[in-house]
Amino acid sequence: MKIAILSRNPELYSTNRLVEAAQNNNHEVLIVDHAKCSVVMEKGKPGVLYNGHLLEQIDAIIPRIGASITFYGTAIVRQFEMMRVFSTAESQAIIRSRDKLRSLQVLSREGLGIPKTVFAKHPKNQDVEELIDHVGGTPLIIKLLEGTQGLGVVLADTQASAKSMIEAFSGIKTNILIQEYIKEAKGTDIRVFVVNKEIVGAMERKGKEGEFRSNLHRGGKGTIVSLTKREQSAAINAAKAMGLSIAGVDILRSSRGPLIVEVNSSPGLEGIEAATQVDIAGKIISFVEDNVVKKKRRKSSLKG
């Protein structure tokens, strides 16, 4: 099998682990920088050009698309989809999960628990206090729609600071989400790794001293954790709602049950594999194998 990993950095842990797992199963692996790919469009002959050559006979792709290049990266994924190449993440699912507002709307529609959140386009001064009250007052979280890995997320401790921050963002025409602060989570969250509707690993992430964000990129630490049935169900249903076969689902433990904060379409492997000692890269490659085999069987049955 020939697998292309769409990654801009071949030195990343996640990229290396996927290459290693694929090679251990005797697959040919290419690391393709999607930012350097070109889309070739012609009637009935979609193609992807890379380093001056058309990428051909690719059986599957594993997209590792960074948030800063979502538009272009998903265009490349979509082109592979047009070429009938199996992708571990559909282009539309990546786009849906990257849009913080849209993803929360989808999760809410599906009846899944989320923190109380409000979104308003540049609210007027008199509306700000109503928005703050709606999420339960302060402290509260303010998130930029375009933020990632804990960047663009700030904690407002008091009514005055919250109002000041919201008005400041509004003044520079920046779209934000205003979200309740879950006190009982105590600066921790749970990252649940889902592959093909199955939970393959879960870790609790705790922020460093004095840090309310639990992201490992912000200095947080991950330890293995057991999930309740409600948490398991929430994670699997969240991935399903986003249309993602592979997902990192971030959950807060609250007094009213699990609350989903985010569903990540390109979850990192380093922290979760270290915490759980599970070969998650191998499980991703097994998922690819199963789907490529099924696809080839369907193709053969149609010819027969």
Q: Give pLDDT tens digits for 85-97.
A: 999 999 999 999 9
Q: Is the pLDDT of residue 9 over 80?
A: yes
Q: How far apart are CA 227 and CA 260, in angstroms?
A: 14
The predicted pLDDT at position 125 comes to 66
Measured CA to CA, the distance from residue 215 to residue 275 in angstroms comes to 14
Asked if residue 63 lies in contact with residue 32, where contact means CB atoms within 8 angstroms, the answer is: no
Please state the rounded mean pLDDT for residues 220-248.
96
Q: Which residue has the higher pLDDT, 173 or 78?
A: 78
The domains of the chain, with CATH numbers, are 2-89 (3.40.50.20), 117-181 (3.30.1490.20), 184-265 (3.30.470.20)
pTM value? 0.91
Please check the confidence at residue 296 and state whether its pLDDT lies above 80.
no
